Each structure stands twice: as C-alpha cells, then as structure tokens.
C-alpha cells in the first residue's frame, strides 16, 4: 500500500513535467510575435526588438524553457499582457470563486445523482425509474450553456426568483480573507451577505452539477441493481433487517465504489463546464478570466490557467485513486 | 463433415437446423429489437438525410440571407421557429447547420478513433519502451481537462471549423489509445495469437487481421457515443465564438447570437439548443443500443 502510494506520487513527476512542456510549446506555437501584441502594430522595429530582448524571446528555446520553469517554481507566472498585472496575484483572486462553484456543483450533483440512482434501482421499472433514466439521457445530451440560458430565462427573467449573474449584490462589501465568499461572510458574521452569496450561487452550481449528475444516476443505478442481487443482501433481508437498512448499509455502501471513479473521471468535465457556466453567469472565476484572456490573446494568463487546472486535475485524480484503496481493501496494487 | 452429419441427424429426428450467425448479424438482430437503438437510428437517419439533402433541396448562401424588416419575429406560420436578429429564418439555418455539426462530430471521431487505435495497437502489441513513451504522452494529454485543452488548441491555431475539428480530435485520441491498448494486452496472450505467431504470420498481419477485428466492438460503441460528445464540444466552442465563424449557421454560434435578446426573444436561443440536444441524444441512444447489442453481458 505505502509502496503503491510512493510509486503513484513519483509517477506524477513525468506527467507534471510533460504538462509544463506541452503548455510552454503550445503558447510558443501561437502565430505572431508577443512583442508586437504588447506594443501594437504601429510599434517601431527598434521598440519591438527591445521588448523581445526584455522578454527573453531572442534566447534559444531550451534556455527560455529553463527560465520559465525557474519562474514557475518560484510561483511567478509572469505578467498579463493587457492588464500588466501580476498573474499569480490575479489567480489568487480568481481561483477561490471557481473552486467554490465546482465544489457546490459536486455536492449537489453527487447527492441528487446518487439518490435518484438508488431510488431508480430499488423501484426498478417504475414511473420514477423511467423518468429518471430519460432525464439522465437528456442530461448528457444537453449543451450546458443552453440549459444555463433557459434556466436564466425561466428563473431570473420571467420569474425573478434567482439572480441572473454575479457572485454578490454590488452594494454588499465583503472583507476578503480566504477568497471563498461563503466563508468570508461567515467570518464577518454578516448573515445577510452570506444568504445573498448563497442565493447567487444556487443557479450556477445547479447548472454545473448537471455535468456529473446523469453519469452518476446511471452508474449508481447499474451498480445498485448488481449489488441488490447478491447473496449477502438476501441474507440481510432474511435476517429481517429493515429495508432501508439493507439498502443503505448493505447495498449502497458496496455500490459506491464505481461512483467514486465516475466522480474522478468527471472532474475534467466539471472544470471545462465551469468555463461555460462562469462565462454565462459573469462569475468572476478562472473560467471568465481564461475566456477573456483568449479573446484578447493574453497568453501569460492562458498559460497560467491551463497549467493550474491541469495540475489540480492530476492531483485530484491521484486523490481519487488513493481513496479507492482505502475504500476497497480487496483492491491490491502490485 | 461434422456439419452434414449433424444436419442429417437433425433431419432424421425432425428438427430444423439454423445457420450459425456471425457476431455482426447477431448484433444487428439485437439492435433492431431494441427500442432505444431504434429511436437513435431514426433520429440519426433524419439528421444525416437533412445534412445531405438540405443543400440540394434548398440552396443556401448565409451571406445573402437577411431580411431586416422581419428581424426577431417570434415563431409563426411563416417562420415556424421565428427569425433571428438579421431576420433570417431560424428553422432554415438549423437545417443547414446540420451538416456542420454532423461533419465535425463524424470527422473528429474518425480522426481520433483511427489515430488512437493505431497508437493503442502499437503500444499494446510491442510493449517496452515504445509502449511507455506512447502511454506517457497520452497520460499528459489526459491530464488536461478536455474542454480546456480544446480551447487552448483553438486559441493557438486560430478560430474556425477546421481548427475545431483538430482540437476535438486531439483531445479524443488518448481515450481510444487506452481502450485499444487494454484490449490488445488481453488478446495478445491468447492462444490463437500464439498459434498465428508460431506458423510465422507477420506482425502487421497479426495486428490488423487477428487483433484489430477482435477489439473492434468496444471501439465502435465508444466512437458512436463520442460523436455526441464531439458535437457538444463543437457547439461549446462555437458558442464561445471559437468555432465556425459567422455567418455560418453553426448551432452553438446561433445560440450565442441570441443571448443579447434572451429577455424578449428566447426562441432565438431555444431552438438551436433543441437541435443540438436531439442530435446528441440520437447518437447516445444508438451508442447505448450498440453496446447492448455487441456485448450482451454488459446489458444493464
């Protein structure tokens, strides 16, 4: 077990190295001269040359890569071409907003998805099951940005139940300590602001949760059906245990393992979906930041956000794999 | 021969014999009897026919199509899905957009499927250093959230339909490579491959004649499902303005076109989204049906 963990962690290094290499070359493959992008088309040749020298663009590629890695290891992600701000600083402002949304989407998606899956399996072929399965099928087939727009139209425009965009009403001031608005408002003891933040969070988080909900419903249902046919479930029933106890303690516990895998596998989808959801809800997170940076060709930001997302993704997947060994002692890694 | 003996025996005892069916004939039979697969096939056929016939039945030049006097009309008898901000008939644009979405889906999946399959075959069959290098590169590609990688590739190569296809293909390759590699690893150890090697069959023949056909069905299932996913990704890129450029009637771009008018004219957003959903649904249903048909043990 320990050997497995050590091997997995060591195995991360080549992947992380590859990520930096790929991002580095992807950004250098962009047509056009970054110096010209910074200075504009009308810049004189000497100015362009001076900026190229400053940016180190005249040095050979491998030297540039070493310099890039050196900065990266010191936590320096460069400066934004458009805003001239420090990318690492901006990232620290943006990342909590995205994490907050993704975590809530995950919570909503898992709790609702697993519940629907379990009920569908227990009441197999009932109306609930059929509606649930059709819902899951429509859910995977639906463009998430379209669902977001339809829900905004219904819930924010037609019936003003939820706000259409933003993270907080503009009039509310929040003292930034962690960057997680729900935590910050609680730290301030301002429950009105907390409620307001939650109210803004519901719709985007629900929309994003539809990325993981349909696959979770389907896998939970399939695993539950499989488990419910096992001998130990029959034994539990024969002992006269309450049906709820049989389902939750005996069946669900054993059906959850593949569910964990699905959550790990769908995390990339959540991060991708966050870009679209944030753009639509004007959520001030990594997604809108990246999207705006792409439209302005602000490459240091694109580079930073791709790097950070990939790194988070790799580590979370490692976490899921390790969790797997804890949850299922039968799994042996040799 | 054993078969004729068996047939005679069957005749004597008054039984009828059935010709043995191939895997594919069997799968086709199961596919036809599955309701979900049938719905999927019907939707798929309608979309394909729409994509093929639209330019013949109704020649369309998006640059000439505008009627500002009738801009942003709600659905009516004349324009069953209403008109957009330039007065273009939304139904007509959706019909002509079918070929764009379909071609992105099919071409991207074909490219990713072929490239991934070849890499997986090589990696699985040869093993060793070749395997390690290929799979490490695949691991790195898989380390990126796919949407983000696709966006980054399009950002690097520039907007447009062709680059959208490239981006979605690249993102799809590792999935197929891993799938095929794992199939090869199980097949490689089996006796019929050993037998083929012993009688001196050359490696490429073993790979393409013996291993590939036996790993084909999961590839087909995964590709069918992949078409739906590729269409969704293409629509997302189109929505972000990175895909097919205006005035092309790309469905994702049509939705983003309608966003500023969501309050007054939700139909501009609603109908293109329905088109995307139905198309993707069709391929997903077909994929589900194919999985059940090709691998009866997997049936849930």
Interval A249-304: pLDDT, tens: 888 888 888 788 888 888 888 988 999 999 999 999 999 998 888 877 787 888 89
Q: Angle of helix B35-57 relative to helix B90-126, nearest 10 degrees?
A: 120
Please provide the DSSP assignment of A179-202 as one string. Answer: S-HHHHHHHHT-HHHHHHHHHHHH
What was the pLDDT predicted at B6?
67
Give the pLDDT confidence of B109-131 residue by residue, as tens digits.
Answer: 999 999 999 999 999 989 899 99
Mean pLDDT rounded to a whole number for chain A: 87
Q: Say whether residue B97 is in contact with chain A using an 8 A CB cutoff.
A: no
Percent of chain A topping pLDDT 70: 98
Cα radius of gyration rounded to whole Å, chain B: 24
Residues in chain B within 8 Å Cβ distance of A141: 228, 232, 277-278, 280-281, 284
- Is residue A9 in some structural domain? no
Average pLDDT for residues A49-53, to the nearest whole number? 82
> Would you tell me which residues 63-122 of chain A have a C-beta closer than 8 angstroms to some C-beta of chain B?
none
Residue A325 falls within a domain, yes or no?
no
Three-state helix/strand/coil letters over B120-170: HHHHHHHCHHHHHHHHHHHHHHHCCCHHHHHHHHHHHHCCCHHHHHHHHHH
Residue A120 lies in a domain: yes
In a domain, A319, yes or no: no
Check residue B3 and give its pLDDT.
Answer: 58
pLDDT for A334 beyond 50: no
Q: Is B39 on the interface with A (CB under 8 A)?
A: no
> Cβ separation of A313 and B145 shorter than 8 Å?
yes
Q: Where are the beta strands (DSSP E) in chain A?
A: none
- Of A19, A29, A275, Cβ closest to residue B151: A275
Share of chain B above pLDDT 90, in %: 52
| Whether B139 contacts chain A with CB within 8 A | yes
- Sign of the CA dihedral with A29 first, then A35, A37, and A41 last: negative
In this prediction, residue B296 carries a pLDDT of 55
Helices B90-126, B267-294: inter-axial angle, 10-degree rounding: 40
Between CA A299 and CA A287 the distance in angstroms is 15
Residue the block writes with tokens 């259409």: A164
Chain B residues in contact with A279 (beta carbon < 8 A): 240
Q: Does A306 touch chain B (CB under 8 A)?
A: yes
Cβ contact, residue pair A145, B255, below 8 Å: yes
Better-predicted residue by pLDDT, A22 or A31: A22
List of chain B residues whose C-beta atoms are within 8 Å of the C-beta of residue A152: 262
SS3 letters across A62-92: HHHHHHHHHHHHCCCCCECCCCCCEHHHHHH
pTM of the model: 0.89
User: What is the ipTM, given to two decimal places?
Assistant: 0.89
A135 part of a folded domain: yes
Q: With a cut of 90, say whether residue A221 has pLDDT above it.
A: yes
Q: Name the token pair of A170.
A: 């503009």
What gap in Å lies between CA A245 and CA A240, rounded to an integer?
10
Query: Looking at beta carbons, which residues of chain A come within 8 Å of B149?
Result: 306
Contacts of A157 in chain B (CB under 8 A): 262-263
Name the minimum distance, in Å, from the CA of A220 to any CA of chain B. 11
The predicted model gives A195-203 an average pLDDT of: 93
**Which among B144, B158, B284 has CB closest to A310?**
B144
Q: pLDDT by residue (tens digit) across B137-166?
A: 998 998 888 888 998 888 888 889 999 999
Least Cα separation, residue B137 to chain A (angstroms): 8
Give the CATH number for residue A238.
Answer: 1.10.3720
Residues 173-212 of A with CB under 8 A from B: none
Nearest-Cα residue of chain A relative to residue B133: A14
Within 8 A of B241 by CB-CB distance, chain A residues are 295
Residue B61 makes CB contacts below 8 A (sequence gap 6+) with none
* In a domain? residue A237: yes
pLDDT value of position A175: 79
Q: Is residue A150 part of a domain?
A: yes
Return the minimum-mean-pLDDT range out of A29-33, A312-316, B61-65. Answer: A29-33
Containing structural domain, residue A282:
91-296
* Residues in Cβ contact with A29 at an 8 Å cutoff, skipping those fewer than 6 apart: B156
Number of structural domains chain A divides into:
1
Distance CA A260, CA A320 (A): 7
CB-based contact B255 A146, cutoff 8 Å:
yes
Q: Which of B155, B278, B300 sits opposite A225 (nearest CB)?
A: B300
How far is the C-alpha of A55 from the C-alpha of A36, rounded, in Å? 12
Question: Which residues of chain B fall short of a pLDDT of 70?
Answer: 1-4, 6, 14-21, 296-300
Residue A153 belongs to some domain of the structure: yes
């Amino acid at each position: 077990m320990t050997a497995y963990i050590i091997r997995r962690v060591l195995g991360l290094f080549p992947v992380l190295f590859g990520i930096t290499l790929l991002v580095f070359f992807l950004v250098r493959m962009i047509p056009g001269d970054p110096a010209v992008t910074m200075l504009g088309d009308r810049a004189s040749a000497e100015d362009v040359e001076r900026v190229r020298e400053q940016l180190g663009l005249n040095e050979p590629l491998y030297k540039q890569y070493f310099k890039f890695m050196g900065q990266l290891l010191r936590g320096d992600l460069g400066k934004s071409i458009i805003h001239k701000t420090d990318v690492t600083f901006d990232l620290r402002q943006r990342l909590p907003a995205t994490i907050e949304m993704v975590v809530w989407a995950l919570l909503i998606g898992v709790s609702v998805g697993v519940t629907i899956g379990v009920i569908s399996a227990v009441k197999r072929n009932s109306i609930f099951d059929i509606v649930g399965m059709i819902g899951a099928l429509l859910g995977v087939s639906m463009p998430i940005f379209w669902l977001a727009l339809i829900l905004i139209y219904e819930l924010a425009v037609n019936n003003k139940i939820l706000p259409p965009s933003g993270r907080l009403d503009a009039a509310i001031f929040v003292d930034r300590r962690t960057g997680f608005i729900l935590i910050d408002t609680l730290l301030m003891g301002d429950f009105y602001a907390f409620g307001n933040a939650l109210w803004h969070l519901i719709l985007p988080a629900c929309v994003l949760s539809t990325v993981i909900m349909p696959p979770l419903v389907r896998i939970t249902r399939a695993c539950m059906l499989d488990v419910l046919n096992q001998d130990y479930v029959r034994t539990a029933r024969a002992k006269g245990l309450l049906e709820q106890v049989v389902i939750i303690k005996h069946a669900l516990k054993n059906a959850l393992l593949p569910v964990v895998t699905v959550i790990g596998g769908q995390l990339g989808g959540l991060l991708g979906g966050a870009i679209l959801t944030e753009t639509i809800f004007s959520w001030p997170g990594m997604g809108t930041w990246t999207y705006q940076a792409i439209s302005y060709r602000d490459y240091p930001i694109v580079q930073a956000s791709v790097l950070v997302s990939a790194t988070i993704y790799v580590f979370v997947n490692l976490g899921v794999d390790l969790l797997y060994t804890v949850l299922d002692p039968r799994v042996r890694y040799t | 021969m054993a078969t004729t003996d068996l047939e005679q025996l069957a005749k004597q005892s008054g039984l009828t014999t059935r010709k043995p069916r191939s895997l594919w004939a069997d799968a086709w039979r199961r596919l036809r009897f599955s309701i979900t697969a049938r719905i999927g096939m019907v939707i798929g056929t309608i979309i394909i026919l729409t994509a093929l016939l639209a330019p013949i039945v109704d020649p369309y030049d998006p640059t000439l199509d505008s009627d500002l006097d009738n801009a942003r009309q709600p659905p009516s008898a004349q324009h069953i899905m209403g008109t957009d901000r330039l007065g273009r008939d939304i139904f007509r644009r959706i019909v002509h957009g079918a070929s764009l979405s379909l071609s992105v889906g099919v071409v991207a999946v074909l490219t990713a499927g072929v490239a991934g399959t070849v890499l997986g075959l090589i990696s699985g069959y040869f093993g060793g250093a070749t395997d390690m290098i290929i799979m490490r590169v695949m691991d790195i590609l898989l380390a990126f959230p796919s949407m983000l990688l696709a966006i980054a590739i399009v950002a690097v190569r520039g907007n447009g339909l062709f680059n959208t296809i490239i981006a979605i293909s690249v993102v799809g390759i590792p999935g197929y490579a891993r799938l095929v590699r794992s199939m090869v690893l199980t097949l490689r150890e089996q006796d019929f491959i050993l037998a083929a090697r012993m009688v001196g069959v050359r490696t490429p023949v073993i790979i393409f004649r013996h291993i590939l056909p036996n790993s084909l069905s999961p590839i087909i299932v995964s590709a069918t499902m992949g078409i739906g996913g590729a269409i969704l990704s293409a629509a997302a890129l189109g929505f972000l303005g990175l895909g097919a450029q205006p005035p092309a009637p790309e469905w994702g771009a049509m939705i983003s076109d309608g966003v500023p008018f969501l309050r007054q004219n939700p139909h501009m957003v609603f109908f293109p989204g329905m088109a995307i959903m139905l198309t993707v649904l069709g391929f997903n249903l077909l994929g589900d049906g194919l999985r059940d048909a090709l691998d009866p043990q997997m049936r849930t």
